[in-house]
Structure 1
Amino acid sequence: AGYVRTLYLANPEETRQLIHHPLVDCVHMTGGTVTHDAIVWGSTPEEQERRRKANDPLLKVPITSELGCVSPFIVAGWQFTPKELTVQANNLVVAMTSNNGCNCNSAKVLVLPADWPQSAAFLETVRSVLRGTPHDPPYYPGIHESACADARVAHPPPPTHIPHGSLQAVDSLRYGVVAVNAWSAASCILGACTWGAFSGGQTAADVGSGVGVVGNPFLVEGVQKAVYRTPVDGAGVPKPFHVQPIPLAAARLVLGFVVDGWRGLLRGVWAR
């Protein structure tokens, strides 16, 4: 048994002092490759190049990392009911807009079959859901520039079909989590899957989307990726409050527990 303490550090220098402290024997981080390389190889391009050539990392202890990627949202070209189409449009919008698109697994690329008859209906449903979705404040540094840059990029046409069928396609995708009929964040929220980059031989020198996994409550060894499947009608996917508001009684219980632990929970029960 041990202790966990959360620290909110005021500046990068305090963070550097912490991760390089003699009592720290391993580091885990989430963020981007720029932050990872600054931790492992040094704070300037010159230092990083010198240390890489000498194979002399600044960080002397093991590091695992979860760095995100350009996550695709892939729609298979079968016939959806109107309800299923709306559910999947909601899934996409939540994946796009949650935390203003700054999550490590935010949906960044939409892949549709070129000859899918429901493409126009799906895109219009997405636009309709977007218009009714509240957005978080755009706090993340550089988000305005990134959004404008993305809007000006011309993407090539999507593939016309999924080769070898859906199951084979899921097997071949090199992502740490593949979610079927849901945003991959659902697997992280439920806590039953591993979470991290696809295990493809990454190292601290060539980190890709990260090294190692978190989660893994069943202690499975040698995990390459996790696949999370849920019904196409969205029945097994947690939904944001603006889509499915939490009942008042349940909200009272949750808030009571957050504010005052078990005593607050019991007061919420009695208040009912």
Structure 2
Amino acid sequence: KFLKEKPSFVAILGAGNFEAPTDILGKMFVHNKVAIYKSHPMNRAAVDPILPVLFKPLIDDGYLAICSGEVGVGQAILHSELTDEAMMTGGCATFDRIVWGSPEEQEKRKESGAPVFEKPFTAELGAVSPWIIVPGDWSKGELQHQAEFLAASKMANASAICASPQIVVLDKDWPLAQEFVKKVEEVLKNWPDFEHYYVGTLDRVSSLEKSSPNSYHVKNCSDDKIVDPLIIPETDDDSLVLKSEAFAPVLAYHYLETGNDVEKFLKEAVNFCNNCLFGTLSGSIMISPKTQKKHSDAFEKALKDLAYGSIGVNEWGGSVNFFGHLRWGARPGAHTKEDIQSGEGQVGNYCM
């Protein structure tokens, strides 16, 4: 399909939190594009010496250009008359600034349908990612494993990952719920100290902390350079943490009152995630094999109904992005330019 389309020129704005050039590879080899790639300022030191070597044959033959710089460079390549379309990895605020202009004018422009950037624009953006724990019989070893797995997924890259788990969904009546929560906190408390690095982390944590009076830091560390996870022990349907991606070490819990009934929980968890959480990038659902087998039809229906681009079953949903042959991106058709949330388009899917 794509190779039959007329080749075109795409401007790609790279991510600030990682660099695996799936965006370049996808646009060039899946979508048949010639590309210019701009590295993110936060990744420049790592990326700029490597990509020109990695892609030297493509650069030498004129199929790819690589540049770096601040906002002005990005604006120049986006608005160049040579650029037919664009792609970015980042946050919805950056997308809105590019497409709809300054924050002061965005609402008016959206209402009138008057973007400042009108070229086709795909975007891989973030979300408030759920981590669903289906009630069931777990051994102490299994419960410990699940706690360690959640903590490790949360702390990866200092939580500066668009798929970082943010909301843990539990059945309030599950007998093991509080034991699980305590184990997660123990793992986080004993996690080796390291510094956060992504710009704006402290501001985002502070905003969510102020919005949740019952929140607390696991380590209670006096050094604000050290990653100290913020726990929000309980949320309601209007909590800010459900609507605002932290992109930081923030972990919140949401309890459903479903009487330790697996099938009722699955139905309510799907409803909550689809209707109360920001974005549709990825989610994760943990279920014991025995419970999955016993409630296979209800579980399969839940997977079908969860409105996410990627779902991990007994696996972190974000791990999908590690494999180039899998599709990564928001749920197709879930968002619009006016309400972009997790973005439009995809990366990966290289075996198509």
Do both share a fold (TM > 0.5)? yes
Report the Cα distance in structure 2 between the residues aligned to 1:128 and 1:195, rounded to whole angstroms.
32
Residue equivalent to 1:118: 176
How many angstroms does 1:49 deviate by? 4.1
Given that residues 133 and 170 in structure 2 are in contact (C-alpha distance below 8 angstroms), is that contact kept between their aligned partners in structure 1?
yes
Residue equivalent to 1:94: 152
RMSD: 2.2
Residue equivalent to 1:45: 104
Alignment CA distance shift 1:23-1:86 (3 Å): farther
Report the Cα distance in structure 1 between the residues aligned to 2:68 and 2:152, rounded to whole angstroms.
28
Report the Cα distance in structure 1 between the residues aligned to 2:174 and 2:103, rounded to whole angstroms.
48
Q: Is 1:69 the equivalent of 2:127?
A: yes
Residue equivalent to 2:199: 141
Q: Following superposition of structure 1 onto structure 2, how do residues 1-272 of structure 1 map, counting pairs within 5 Å?
A: 2=58, 3-9=63-69, 11-46=70-105, 48-134=106-192, 136-151=194-209, 152-153=211-212, 155-156=235-236, 158-159=255-256, 160=258, 161-163=265-267, 165-219=298-352
Cα-to-partner distance string for 1:88-144 (whole Å, 9 max, x where unaligned)? 222211222122222111111111111112222212221222133235522223322
How many angstroms does 1:62 deviate by? 0.6
Q: Which has the higher strand share?
A: 2
Report the Cα distance in structure 2 between the residues aligned to 1:184 and 1:22, rounded to whole angstroms.
38
Given that residues 129 and 165 in structure 2 are in contact (C-alpha distance below 8 angstroms), is that contact kept between their aligned partners in structure 1?
yes
Report the Cα distance in structure 1 between the residues aligned to 2:112 and 2:192, rounded to whole angstroms.
50
Given that residues 333 and 344 in structure 2 are in contact (C-alpha distance below 8 angstroms), is that contact kept between their aligned partners in structure 1?
no
Report the Cα distance in structure 2 between the residues aligned to 1:147 and 1:19, rounded to whole angstroms.
32
Cα-to-partner distance string for 1:46-103 (whole Å, 9 max, x where unaligned)? 2x34543443322232100111111111100011233322332222112221222221
**Identity of aligned pairs, percent?**
33
Given that residues 85 and 122 in structure 1 are in contact (C-alpha distance below 8 angstroms), is that contact kept between their aligned partners in structure 2?
yes
Cα-to-partner distance string for 1:202-249 (whole Å, 9 max, x where unaligned)? 222232211011111232xxxxxxxxxxxxxxxxxxxxxxxxxxxxxx
Q: What SS class does the counterpart of residue 23 from structure 1 fall into?
A: coil
Report the Cα distance in structure 1 between the residues aligned to 2:180 and 2:107, rounded to whole angstroms.
47
How many angstroms does 1:179 deviate by? 0.6
Given that residues 134 and 171 in structure 2 are in contact (C-alpha distance below 8 angstroms), is that contact kept between their aligned partners in structure 1?
yes
Report the Cα distance in structure 1 between the residues aligned to 2:131 and 2:164, rounded to whole angstroms.
9
Task: Give 1:7's aligned amino acid.
Answer: C
Task: Give 2:97's aligned amino acid.
Answer: A
Task: Give 1:194's aligned amino acid.
Answer: R
Report the Cα distance in structure 2 between the residues aligned to 1:134 and 1:82, rounded to whole angstroms.
24
How many angstroms does 1:201 deviate by? 4.4
How many angstroms does 1:18 deviate by? 1.7
User: Mind listing any 5+ residue stretches in structure 2 that lack a counterpart?
Assistant: 1-27, 29-57, 213-233, 237-253, 259-264, 268-296
The range that moved more, 53-62 or 195-204, is 53-62
Alignment CA distance shift 1:132-1:33 (3 Å): same
Report the Cα distance in structure 1 between the residues aligned to 2:329 and 2:88, rounded to whole angstroms.
11
Cα-to-partner distance string for 1:14-56 (whole Å, 9 max, x where unaligned)? 211121122222211121111001111223422x345434433
Q: What SS class does the counterpart of residue 255 from structure 2 fall into?
A: coil
User: Mind listing any 5+ residue stretches in structure 1 that lack a counterpart?
Assistant: 220-272
Q: What SS class does the counterpart of residue 152 from structure 2 fall into?
A: helix
Given that residues 88 and 182 in structure 1 are in contact (C-alpha distance below 8 angstroms), is that contact kept between their aligned partners in structure 2?
no
Report the Cα distance in structure 1 between the residues aligned to 2:193 and 2:124, rounded to whole angstroms.
25
Q: What SS class does the counterpart of residue 112 from structure 1 fall into?
A: strand
Report the Cα distance in structure 2 between the residues aligned to 1:133 and 1:218, rounded to whole angstroms.
38
Report the Cα distance in structure 1 between the residues aligned to 2:320 and 2:103, rounded to whole angstroms.
37
Report the Cα distance in structure 2 between the residues aligned to 1:186 and 1:217, rounded to whole angstroms.
16
Task: Give 1:32's aligned amino acid.
Answer: G
